[in-house]
Amino acid sequence: MLHAVTAYKKHHAAALVRALRHEVIDLRSLRGKLIRESASTAKGRRGKSDVTEGLGLIASAYAALARDVTAASRSRSVSRAKVLAAVAADRKGRAKLRAGLKLLS
């Protein structure tokens, strides 16, 4: 992942950053809409909580990756730990999202 992030300094980083930021906006918007909905059962509340937490984690990870790609495109060093933390947050968010969807289905 670190190689992929730093490789964009020679290529079209702006397109990737734009796409990541667009995804962040969409995920946060969806999360906000879900938070305003009420759940009718305890299982539904837990599922909704997992889904909204997962969406938030994924959005945060994408935002961090966008910052790292921007930094790499400006010839700044990108910390391996930061990239790995973003990937870990994305995986955790996806796990929460799957768990919430499983409860809701």
**CA gap 50, 98 in Å, rounded:** 8
Residues 57/100, Cβ–Cβ less than 8 Å? no
Domain ranges of the chain: 2-104
Taking residue 38's Cβ as centre, other Cβ atoms within 10 Å add up to 7
Confidence of residue 96 (pLDDT cuts 50, 70, 90): very high
Instruction: Decide if pLDDT at 61 tops 80.
Output: yes
Instruction: Decide if pLDDT at 9 tops 70.
Output: no
Instruction: Decide if pLDDT at 100 tops 80.
Output: yes
DSSP assignments along 23-82, one per residue: HHHHHHHHHHHHHHSPPSSHHHHHHHHHHHHHHHHHHHHHHHHHHHHHHHHTT----HHH
Q: What's residue 105's pLDDT?
A: 84
